[in-house]
A and B are shown apart, each in its own frame.
Chain A
Amino acid sequence: MNVKSISRHKLIKLTDGVKNKIYTVKKINLPVKILKHLEALGMTPGAEIIVLNKKSSALIAGFRGTRFALGRQIAENIEITEIIKGGV
């Protein structure tokens, strides 16, 4: 569960995440208003995130036990990194 020990893995965009693989949120490059909204929803740095469904204009991501549909312009500004199995 402790996600701070994971790093040294390259950052990718949420839109490039592979379906059904668990990642952690690293960085969100969005205007403050949207950033705060996402953080209140639980998308804080270190949170686990999983891409459940993808299409060109949007994707469905699961985090903190709930799923959200996120538009491409939002999703491509969220940077994630892979969780190394057994590294925690």
Chain B
Amino acid sequence: MTIGFIGNPNSGKTTLFNAYTGANLKVANWPGVTVEKKEGALKYHGRIFKLVDLPGAYSLSSYTLEETVAENYILSGEVDVLINVVDASSLERNLYLTLQLLELGKPLVIALNMMDIVEKRGMEIDLHRLHDILGVPVVPVSALKRRGLDSLIHAAAHHRDETGAKNNKNNNNFEFARKIKPEAKTEFSEFSEFEEKYSVIEAIVGEVLVNREKANLITNKADAILTNKFSGLPAFLLIMALVFFLTFLIGDKIKDYIEIIFENFSEFADEALVNLGINEIVHSLITDGIIAGVGAVLSFLPNIFILFIMLAVLEDSGYMSRVAYVMNGIMTKIGLSGKAFVPMLLGFGCSVPAVMATRSLGSSKDRLRTIIVIPFMSCSAKLPIYILFSGMFFPGYSALAAYSMYLIGFILGIFSAFIFNKIDNRYSIRKHNEENNSLIIELPGYKTPGFRTVFIYVWEKIKDYILRAGTVIFAASVIIWGVMHLGFSGYTNNIAESFGAVLGEKLAVILSPAGLGFWQAGVALIAGFAAKEIVAASFAILFGVANVTSDSGMSMLSAELSAIGFGSLNAYCLMLFSLLYPPCAAALAVIRRESGSWGKLGAVIIFQVGVAWVVSFAVYQIFSLFL
């Protein structure tokens, strides 16, 4: 039996779905489109239920892609029972979708979520009356506090078994109105469908809701500062500074402990391989290749972990959509709406979901422009590069040096969007329709982020990071080790004869004016196309430093780098180049899919390589004069 969860965005639908399925869900895309499809299984009273989390929808009127996907799925007949998650604290708006669903005649159960908030605000909902009027089961739940979960599934299973669809087949607005006022006649003739439904909803809410005018005081107070004309922007910058401060400094503190484990492990592995009499080449592959590469990437887990906790908290607390409002002024000046800023902010985590999030933007032009600048928002995989190189070359100022990457990326992103807008306005024949990309975004009430929601969000990202370390980065580590130990004459210990050196030397010629005229940098940057963490891992492998993130490893690597003439300015240029050059293969694949053409992908790559080279070149040449 398949149960579909449908509800308005911010109704707590996903929290409720997660409460049933936990972190064991299958995430895929809806056929043909890249809107996330989440499926989970639930065993209840010996029966297996397939749960499907449908995309958030305000209505079935297909305004957004999400709504189209939800509607198509419901109509496809794949779903047996629908659970309509309704935010009880904003009943009026949520019931619009409910009335539309009732008209479809599918078995429907209403999960009245956020009842705790309703109670806190001194409101009461007459559940019996609501059930009477709507004619379908109404179950009060709290997804966050995991209350009412059993009753809800029970109601869904039961509703399907006993009543099927017959109960609500003949529901229409007129019938509802009659249930509230028996004398009502068809007085809707002069109204549009929207007005008709909302006038029915007004009558329903009038019947079932007591003390309805209580304002959300906490949200009002918080918004007075966070969305204020003057304090909104400084508050946002302060929050972002806090996010990165915690990511760098607290993350580094935890990292110290992880390093001790890694150090012991690599020493143990080294001894074990010697004791077992393993072949020298295999020994080198394992310690200098795999352990150095994969270990370098894994030791940054604490920083990544904290960054994603912070992003999850921003999202779940309701603050993320405020950022769209706060940034709308700046974004309008560059021809985008504040809504486009949300995908950009997500880009600080990972470009892949960020590029997919541009689906919420109205026009394809806006989407493309947003997609082009997303890679400039420094993603979490670039963090290891910054931490490693700023730690080695900017002692005492490492957090500042790393933070400067975020700022430069952000400013360049905004600036490029501005330039694209200018070009677009000059050459486009049809004037850009301003209303089409104007801001419409719900600002949900603030709430304390749910532990479970944050945990599941962070766990998914961490799982992905570890998985990448075990697959892509593992493979890349082996390849990089191979490239620098194999040459035209077979296995070699003389790195200068290796394929890596030969290839890297060619790249070094091009990269030299940008301060990166080292074959190792060329190899690392090329390898970085597989995943950005590899840039950091490559240096560990290329210089054969096993515990590159420990104090001793860092001083060893920085001594090796200094010996080839790679100084702090070169390090800064490497960080800049890594920040600005095209994103990893996974992100490029998503850009190709979302932009719909190879040509656009090619343009994005050329643009980003160009920007990376020009900016690094400028910085290197200017600062070379002073240093």
Contacts and interface: CB of A to CB of B under 8 A. Distances in A.
Interface string A39-68: 111101111000011111110100011111
A7 interface: no
B310 to A, nearest CB: 23
Contacts of A56: 329
Contact of B194 (A44, A52, A60, A77): A44
B206 A1 contact: yes
B59 interface: yes
Contacts of B90: 64-66
B229 A55 contact: yes
Given A58-B325, A67-B442, A74-B439, A40 B96 contact: yes
B439 A69 contact: yes
Interface residues of B: mostly helix, strand, loop or mixed? Answer: helix
A21 interface: no
Given A41-B58, A45-B195, A65-B93, A58 B329 contact: yes
Interface residues of A, number: 36
A31 interface: yes
B63 A37 contact: yes
Interface in A17-49: 30-31, 33-34, 36-42, 44-47
A73 interface: yes
A68 B443 contact: yes
Interface stretch (B152-160, B274-282, B430-438, B529-537): B430-438
B223 A60 contact: yes
B442 A68 contact: yes
B32 to A, nearest CB: 22
B194 A69 contact: no
Interface string B417-458: 000000000000000011110111111100000000000000
B192 interface: yes
Interface of B: 58-59, 61, 63, 89-93, 96, 192, 194-195, 198, 202, 206, 212, 219-220, 223, 227-229, 321-322, 324-325, 328-329, 332, 337-338, 433-436, 438-444
28 contacts: A1-B206, A33-B63, A37-B58, A37-B61, A40-B59, A41-B96, A41-B442, A42-B92, A42-B198, A44-B194, A44-B195, A44-B198, A53-B227, A55-B329, A57-B332, A57-B338, A58-B325, A58-B328, A60-B325, A65-B89, A65-B212, A67-B219, A68-B441, A69-B324, A69-B440, A71-B438, A72-B438, A73-B438
Interface of A: 1, 30-31, 33-34, 36-42, 44-47, 52-58, 60, 64-74, 77
